[in-house]
Amino acid sequence: MDSLPVASVRTESMVRSRAIILATFSLLGVLVLLAPWPGIVLSARERELHVRARQYAYTPGVLRVSQGDRVTLVLEAEDVTHGLYLDGYAVDLVAVPGRGTRTVFVADRPGKFRMRCSKICGTLHPFMLGELIVEPNASLWRAVGMAVLAAVGTVLFLRTERRDAGSGAAA
């Protein structure tokens, strides 16, 4: 007679433990999927970036996009003819004062890519540099987070079952 209430208590304990694990990991999963991540754009989008070239400098000097973005790069020269070559993407623009030039490409590789002037514009021409930063796509990291949560939750869920089965055999 005593074993029935003990089994009933163990079953209730197992159900409670599983419910807590399920609720906790469901909540964490919702947070991983829906919570905004600082500094990360959630999906690819159209971006138009204007770069002004003036003796020995690009303005802005650093451009940021997300992986997968379709980027329209517009180069405008303010003083003399300037070029912009973007390492890693084989983008080469040339702009003369008063006439901008543009190109479109997809930022498909994350990382930092150097922009350099491709037309000799003066004595400090080799130092006319800029940078394009392609940030990783948030979808990938959300999927990784969900996979880790699913794996840890499954292990804990199965461990609860094994622990309760083992204690039931001991009684």
pLDDT of residue 50: 96
Sign of CA dihedral 59, 61, 66, 68: positive
Q: What is the dihedral of CA 15, 20, 25, 27, to 10 degrees?
A: 130
Amino acid (1-letter code) at residue 74: V
Dihedral over Cα of 116, 117, 123, 124: its sign = negative
Whether residues 119 and 53 fall in one domain: yes
Q: pTM, whole model, 2 decimals?
A: 0.58
pLDDT at 10: 63
Q: In the prediction, which pLDDT does 152 show?
A: 81
> What CATH code is carried by the domain that includes residue 71?
2.60.40.420
Residue 54: pLDDT over 50: yes
- Do 90 and 28 belong together in one domain? no
CB 110 within 8 A of CB 135: yes
The number of folded domains in the chain is: 2
**Whole-angstrom distance, CA of residue 72 vs CA of residue 46:** 8
DSSP code at position 171: -
If asked whether residues 83 and 129 sit together in one domain, one would say: yes
* 166 within some domain: no
What span, in angstroms and rounded, lies between the C-alpha atoms of 130 and 160?
55
Predicted local confidence at residue 163, as pLDDT: 65
- What mean pLDDT comes out for the span 141-169? 72
Domain that holds residue 60: 46-135
Domain contains 101: yes
Does 58 share its domain with 119?
yes
What value does the mean pLDDT of the chain take?
81
- Confidence grade of residue 156 (pLDDT, cut at 50, 70, 90): confident
CB neighbour class for 166 (10 Å; exposed up to 12, middle 13-18, buried from 19)? exposed
Same domain, 85 and 97: yes
Whether 130 is in a domain gets the answer yes
pLDDT tier, 59 (very low <50, low <70, confident <90, very high otherwise): very high
- Confidence bin at 13 (pLDDT 50/70/90): confident
Residues 131 and 50 in one domain: yes
Bridge-based pairing state of the strands 111-116 and 82-86: antiparallel
Element (H, E) at 93: strand 91-95
